[in-house]
Amino acid sequence: MSCHLSRSNYEMLPTPPVGFPSYNHDFMVTYSLLAANQVMSLIFDGVFDRFPTLRIVFVEHAFTWILPLMWRMDAIYAARKSRVDIKRKPSEYVKEHIKFTTQPLDYPEDKTELTRALEWMECEKILLFSSDYPHWTFDDPRWLVKHLPKAARDAVMYKNGIATYHLPESVPVLEGQTRVL
């Protein structure tokens, strides 16, 4: 299952004291918050224990926020294990059941820190390449490849997409078409 952004009232967080976002850029920042709430709910409500074959892709919700969220959920789980009705650490559910597209890509000023964060979150297990081209927020795949850990590049750029969506490894070239890769 894939979850993509929309602008319906059903996806809004509770109304903040100062009202809903006034500008598009305000709203774009909240996309990650919406996904974080959904991830926590899916895990702590035991959805993946009840539906062990369920896989979910969060499309265009960013993804760098998942690393501290996994740390926090694991800490809560460790502290309240007897009161939480799930069978494993939350980060294990994320790595087995949830994937995120790489767009929009948030990164720190020091780009080497992005590569370290990608390694820590085991990006080869949870990321699928996406660019969002031709929108103005698109991410250049050449830039992304340079910052992915070398061992994760093939998985993130195409293998995870093939496996997640059960796609063929290759397709025949159409007449008049030139293969790029």
pLDDT tens readout for residues 122-156 = 999 999 999 887 877 788 888 889 889 999 999 99
N-term to C-term CA, the chain:
28
The CATH architecture of the domain made up of 2-15+22-164 is: Alpha-Beta Barrel (3.20)
In this predicted model, what pLDDT tens digit does every residue of 68-112 receive, in sequence order?
999 999 999 999 998 989 999 999 999 999 999 998 888 778 888
Please give the angle made by the CA atoms of 96, 102 and 104, to the nearest 5 degrees. 135
Q: What is the pTM of this model?
A: 0.82
pLDDT digits (tens, 9 = 90+) for 115-129: 888 999 899 999 999
Asked if the model's pLDDT at residue 181 lies above 60, the reply is no
d(CA 70, CA 73): 5
179: confidence class by pLDDT, cuts 50, 70, 90: low
Return the domain boundaries, the chain.
2-15+22-164
